[in-house]
Amino acid sequence: MLTLFYHPLSSFCWKPLVALYDTQREFTPHPIDLTKPEDAALLESLWPMRQFPVLQDGATRIAESSIMIEHLDLNHPAQSRMLPADPQAALPIRLWDRFFDMNIQLVMQKIVDDALRPPERRDPVIVEQARDKLDRAYRVAERHLSGQGDWAAGAFSLADCAALPALFYAGAIHPFDDHPAMRAYFDRLVQRPSCARVLDEAKPWFRYFPFQDRIPARFMT
């Protein structure tokens, strides 16, 4: 039996949730609230880095969102895969998974982290550098997506699971309105049932996002 330890607001938790919903795999959701000492202790017992998500598959525990999606493909085959079986064909998907995580999601997180600091500890230089990196990433993504079909790397895949949280949160903080291919791609993402379900489940938690006032109204009602 699969159990996912996660938080509904966490961007990296959205990735396996999208994959699980999209492939209609059965699993037990186990939310973690780090404000509760018992939940924090549980998470540390599952993964000493105290980071979610963590996937429990029988006696096996898997950390890191990309790895757990690969684990699902290998050990719990579904009608559709998040990565092709052919390693060569999987490379572009791995690339764009890493691109959305490293160049958009983690860069956006620097702006969030700065907003969560006390005012006297905030650093406008870090924020400016992060916004510059997002602009560069947006240009790269726009160029790539302009030559693609509906999804980031062929069929809906691991790359798109990574793109949903990255573009949702980054778009609220640093909009990509002047990138039409990105806008169209994001609209396709949020309309996909698995992605829409993840966003709907996260909705009650958006009030804890420091830039909640910038989340488009269509996601708040």
pLDDT for the residue numbered 219: 95
Q: Do β-strands 54-57 and 60-63 pair in parallel, antiparallel, or remain unpaired?
A: antiparallel
DSSP 8-state symbol, 151: B
- For residue 69, the surrounding DSSP H or E stretch is helix 65-75
pLDDT in tens, 92-144: 999 999 999 999 999 999 999 999 999 999 999 999 999 999 999 999 999 99
Q: Which of 138, 127, 129 is nearest to 104 (CA)?
A: 138
The parts of the chain modelled with pLDDT lower than 70 are none
pLDDT tens for 53-65 read 999 999 999 999 9
Candidates 3.20.20.110, 3.30.465.10, 3.30.470.20, 1.20.1050.10; CATH matching 87-211: 1.20.1050.10
User: Would you call 154 helix, strand, or coil by DSSP?
Assistant: strand
Give the DSSP H/E element, type plus range, for residue 48: none
Q: Where are the domains of the chain?
A: 2-75, 87-211
- Using alpha carbons only, how large is the chain's radius of gyration in Å? 17
Number of neighbours of residue 105 by Cβ within 10 angstroms: 22
What dotted CATH number matches 2-75?
3.40.30.10
Predicted pLDDT of residue 148:
87
